[in-house]
Amino acid sequence: MDRLLARFAQEVDTAVEIVTIYEKAGIQKELVEEEYFLSLQSTHPSSAWFERKIHDDFGLKIAKGYDNRPFWQHETMPPITAMKKSFQSTQIERVTSPQPYRYKTIKGEGVFQVSVGPIHAGIIEPGHFHFSQAGEQILHLDVRHGYKYRGIEKMCKGKSLDALFPLLSRVSGNESIAYQIALYQLKEQALKKEITPNLTHAILLELERLVHHCTDIGFIPNDAGFGAALSMASLLAEESKRILFTLTQSRFGFESIGKDIALQNKKKELQTYVDKMNSEIRWFEDWIMDIPSLWDRLDTTGILTTKQALLYDTVGVVARASGLKLDRRDSSFYRHYGYALQREKKGDVAARFILRINEIKNSLKIIENMLNDVTEYQMVEEKSYHDGEYLSFVESSIGELMMYLKLKEGVVERLFIRDPSFINWQALHLMMPRDIIADFPLINKSCDLSYAGADL
pLDDT tens digit sequence for 326-341: 999 999 999 999 999 9
What CATH number does domain 152-444 carry, 1.10.150.120, 2.60.120.10, 1.10.645.10, 1.20.1050.10? 1.10.645.10
- At 222, the amino acid letter reads N
pLDDT, mean of residues 418-434: 96
Closest to 200 in 3D by CA, of 251, 272, 266: 266
In this predicted structure, the answer to whether residue 258 has a pLDDT above a threshold of 90 is no
> What pLDDT does 380 receive?
64
Closest to 367 in 3D by CA, of 404, 414, 319, 334: 334
> What pLDDT does 381 receive?
65
* Cα–Cα distance for residue pair 418/371, rounded to 1 Å: 31
> What pLDDT does 376 receive?
64
How high is the mean pLDDT of the chain? 93
Per the model's pLDDT, the better-predicted residue between 375 and 275 turns out to be 275
Q: What is the pLDDT of residues 267-292, one digit of tens each?
A: 999 999 999 999 999 999 999 999 99
**52, 39 contact by CB (below 8 A):** no
* Cα–Cα distance for residue pair 204/266, rounded to 1 Å: 13
CB 378: neighbour CB atoms within 10 A? 11
Per the model's pLDDT, the better-predicted residue between 297 and 88 turns out to be 297
> What pLDDT does 122 receive?
75
> What pLDDT does 194 receive?
76
* Cα–Cα distance for residue pair 316/219, rounded to 1 Å: 18
Q: What is the pLDDT of residues 108-162, one digit of tens each?
A: 999 999 999 898 877 788 999 999 999 999 999 999 999 989 999 999 999 999 9
- Alpha-helical (H) ranges within 304-431 are 306-311, 316-320, 332-336, 349-371, 420-424
Count of alpha carbons within 13 angstroms of residue 22, beta-carbon side: 11
> What pLDDT does 237 receive?
97
**Nearest 5°: CA angle at 238, between 232 and 244?**
150
In this predicted structure, the answer to whether residue 379 has a pLDDT above a threshold of 70 is no
Hey, where are the domains in the chain? 1-100, 152-444
* Cα–Cα distance for residue pair 261/374, rounded to 1 Å: 11
In this predicted structure, the answer to whether residue 377 has a pLDDT above a threshold of 80 is no
pLDDT, mean of residues 199-220: 96
* Cα–Cα distance for residue pair 223/171, rounded to 1 Å: 26
CA 226 to chain centre: 27
Looking at 10-24, 53-67, 375-389, 420-434, which range is the least confident one?
375-389
pLDDT, mean of residues 224-240: 96
- SS (HEC) of 208-266: HHHHHHHHHHHHHHHCCCCHHHHHHHHHHHHHHHHHHHHHHCCCCCCCCCCCCCCHHHC
> What pLDDT does 270 receive?
94
Per the model's pLDDT, the better-predicted residue between 237 and 85 turns out to be 237
* Reported confidence tier of residue 264, pLDDT bands at 50, 70, 90: confident
Give the pairing type, strands 400-408 and 411-418. Answer: antiparallel
- What lies within 8 Å, CB to CB, of 292 at 6+ separation is none
In this predicted structure, the answer to whether residue 312 has a pLDDT above a threshold of 90 is yes
* Reported confidence tier of residue 92, pLDDT bands at 50, 70, 90: confident
* Cα–Cα distance for residue pair 155/440, rounded to 1 Å: 35
* Reported confidence tier of residue 179, pLDDT bands at 50, 70, 90: very high
> What pLDDT does 24 receive?
96
**223, 442 contact by CB (below 8 A):** yes
Element (H, E) at 390: strand 388-395
Give the pairing type, strands 111-116 and 61-63. Answer: unpaired
* Reported confidence tier of residue 378, pLDDT bands at 50, 70, 90: low
